[in-house]
Amino acid sequence: MKNIRLLWRLMKGNRILYFASMISMGLATLFAIVSPLVIRVTIDSIIGNQPLEVPLWIARWIDSIGGKEYLYDNLWIPALLLVAITVANGVFLYTKGKWSAIAAEDIAKKMKEELYDHIQHQPYSWHGKVDTGDLIQRCTSDVETIRRFLAVQFVEISRVIFMLVFSLSIMLVLDVKMTLISMAVVPLLLIFSWVFYNKVRKSFQLADESEARLSTVLQENLAGVRIVRAFGRQAFEQDKFKERNKEFRDLVYHLVVLLAWYWSLSDILSLLQMGAVLVVGSYLAGTGVITLGTLVVFTTYEGMLLWPIRQLGRILADMGKTMVSLGRVKEILDQPREDMNGQGLTPTIKGKIQFNNVSFSYDKESPILKNISFTIEKGKTIAVIGPTGSGKSSLVHLLQGLYDYDGGSITIDGIELRDMNKQHLRKNIGIVLQEPFLYSKTLGENIGLAKRRVKPAEIYEAANVASIHEVIESFEHGYDTPVGERGVTLSGGQKQRIAIARTIIQKAPILIFDDSLSAIDTETDAAIRKSLREKSEKVTTIIISHRITTIAEADYIMALDQGQLVQWGTHEELMKQEGLYRRIWNIQNQLEQDLDRELQEGRV
Ligand SMILES: Nc1ncnc2c1ncn2[C@@H]1O[C@H](COP(=O)(O)OP(=O)(O)OP(=O)(O)O)[C@@H](O)[C@H]1O
């Protein structure tokens, strides 16, 4: 029922078109129903000698042109009438198809837009949980299933209803006994299709879920192709794909078998029904109980009726599939949105950050950050150091408002983070990730991404600060060089520098480098930080890094270990203390000295 409500809502703006389409369907059915009646009158009353059984206005018209005899001499008139009726039927079938298709396309478009918009506004934590393959399937195949249903089958249901109402009322007037015989299997066919519909719904859902699993395997494999190659996992991945593919094939096969059973059994039922009408009808016509024309009407109606009733099974099956798809779409639309544009403060951010006794866990069970407290004054640079898994990135996630903290308080310029508008917050925090994502656009477009109406000069300046300008200029098409499949393949360090340039353009008062200088050599790293300091003195900067030379230059250093802040101070202060920082410094220094010695001795 909730799915139907969703469908009704989605149909908004197209309901009139659908209504018009149904009226067309009704008119087309009416014309289809009328043509056997014209044949009946022609056989029984014009060629035969039965009295004319037509509405008064038609009888008057026939009289005015010269009566039955005139029509007998001019049989082309009823023939032309039949052609005209068929043309009218065709015209209305056309408008029905056209209007329902336009409406369905529009609904599908709106649905995709709504889904896309909703996905864009989901919290980061939701994206971490969902399966990308499944999500893509919901936005493509499920929407397509709904579109197909709306374009074709939705209006077909009205055809069955119109057909039943029109033909039944005429048949009952013509002969009650024959009507009962003609309708004998109809309830059976309806029950049969209903049972089938329920059975098939589950199978369709299983097949859909299996298809989603298949696309996930494919998607993961393509996204992680380097890992697959590097670890020689091709055979394993192939087996996994084969297994999922087989599972999908088996489920579809099961569906096909079910469908084949349905169609053959309903074929048998329908043919038995047609046979019964022919046998009984011929006997009754032979004994003069019904006229030849009436027999023609019954056999034609039977053919017309059984087809849509059997189609009803198909429509119901598709309706089952559509309901499943609607449910899957609804699951996404029902997810509460992250309130990006809603309430929340939008202060001018200067950049003083305070953590006060902050604790956080992803699952509300195992704590990832424990009682973290520190203050970063506006414009200062702090470096975060700590073993892998110590919670460095999680700290940044909290600052960006991607997750909510469990306890304590985080403030920026004294304002609680929770009370701030998330979109505003993220606009004011520029972040560069370790593995930045570059779009399939040109290098220039990738850099200018974060700002509307960005000037080329700004792009060049940002690229200069990020020490990537010369590299870009060395490409044949410079800033117009596309990235990706048909463009350049950049090194990890070059990608990081493009991402740094992209973040600089944002001119945010807070900058975060989440291990994003890792693939850049020490000298370029130092050059970038130097120009950053010159360009953006007042920017509060947080640098997560494993490189001790980068960290040492920060105003303050924070050492995290197992979610706890274990050290805080300047390089000089921390070097005087026994602890994590000095240990890491010593190890990295020792390594560098060894390397220098080996270089001097010419061993490297
Ligand atoms: N989305 C998530 N859901 C659940 N747990 C997570 C999630 N992200 C990280 N974790 C867990 O939180 C802990 C801290 O991870 P985090 O990424 O913050 O560490 P890190 O110090 O940045 O590590 P690294 O230096 O390796 O990047 C880890 O134990 C990790 O397994």
Segment 336-372, tens digit of pLDDT: 887 666 678 888 889 899 999 999 998 888 899 999 9
- What Å distances lie between residue 592 and 75, 259, 548, 595, CA to CA? 107, 71, 11, 5
* Cβ atoms of 585 and 554 closer than 8 Å: no
- Within-domain flag for 434: no
Is residue 340 assigned to a domain? no
| 593 domain-assigned | no
Distance CA 347, CA 330 (A): 36
Q: Which of 295, 75, 61 lies closest to 52 in space, CA to CA? A: 61
Specify whether 316 is located in the same domain as 384.
Answer: no
Q: Atom 5, ligand 1: which residue's CA is nearest?
A: 362
Q: Which of 124, 129, 392, 431 to mutate to test the pocket of ligand 1 (most atoms within 8 A of CB)?
A: 392
Distance 514 CA to ligand 1 centre (A): 12
Q: Pick the last residue of a domain from 486, 506, 526.
A: 506
Q: Is residue 22 part of a domain?
A: yes
Q: pLDDT for 44-100, tens place per residue?
A: 888 888 877 778 888 788 888 888 788 778 889 888 999 999 999 999 999 999 999
427 Cα: distance to centroid of ligand 1 (angstroms): 24
Ligand 1 atom nearest the C-alpha of 362 is 4
Pocket test for ligand 1, best of 361, 394, 403, 561 (most atoms within 8 A of CB): 394
Same domain, 497 and 519: no
Two tokens at 404?
A: 């909510």
Look at the block and give the residue holding tokens 């893509």: 136
Please tell me whether residues 455 and 418 are part of one structural domain: no
- Range scoring the smallest mean pLDDT among 31-40, 59-68, 237-246, 372-381: 59-68
Per-residue pLDDT at 487 exceeds 70: no
The alpha carbon of 591 and the centre of ligand 1 are apart by a number of angstroms equal to: 27
Mean pLDDT calculated for residue range 225-246 = 87
543 and 474 in a common domain = no
In a domain, 435, yes or no: no
Whether residue 360 is found in the same domain as residue 385:
yes
Distance CA 86, CA 150 (A): 26
Question: Same domain, yes or no, for 80 and 195?
Answer: yes
Using the mean position of ligand 1's atoms as its centre, give its distance from the Cα of residue 364 in Å.
14
Q: Which CATH number does the domain housing residue 60 bear?
A: 1.20.1560.10
For residue 125, give the ligand 1 atom closest to its CA: 1
- Average pLDDT over every residue of 422-434: 88
SS3 assignment for 80-146: HHHHHHHHHHHHHHHHHHHHHHHHHHHHHHHHHHHHHHHHHCCCHHHHHHCCHHHHHHHHHHHHHHH
Domain boundary among 470, 488, 506: 506
CATH number at residue 370: 3.40.50.300
Ligand 1 atom having least distance to the Cα of 395: 18
Identify whether 512 is part of a domain.
yes
> Does one domain contain both 53 and 101?
yes
Domain membership flag for residue 329: yes
Is residue 94 located within the same domain as residue 223?
yes
Alpha helices in 449-579 (DSSP H): 456-465, 469-474, 492-505, 522-535, 548-552, 571-576
Choose the final residue of a domain: 301, 333, 365.
333
pTM exceeds 0.80, yes or no: no
Please give the distance, rounded to the nearest whole angstrom, from the Cα atom of residue 192 to the centre of ligand 1: 55
Per the prediction, the chain carries an average pLDDT of 86
Counted domains in the chain: 3
- Tell whether 604 is covered by a domain: no
CA 393 to ligand 1 center in whole angstroms? 6
458-479: pLDDT as tens digits: 899 999 888 899 889 888 888 8
- Location of structure tokens 């599908």: 108
Residue span of the structural domain in which 244 resides? 2-333
Q: 307 and 402, same structural domain? A: no
Provide mean pLDDT across the span 303-328. 80
> Are both 418 and 494 inside the same structural domain?
no
pLDDT score at 604: 56
Q: What integer pLDDT is reported at residue 246 of this predicted model?
A: 95
In this structure, are 545 and 397 located in the same domain?
Answer: yes
Whether residues 150 and 100 fall in one domain: yes
Ligand 1 interacting residues, C-beta cut-off 6 A: 128, 362, 368, 386, 388-394
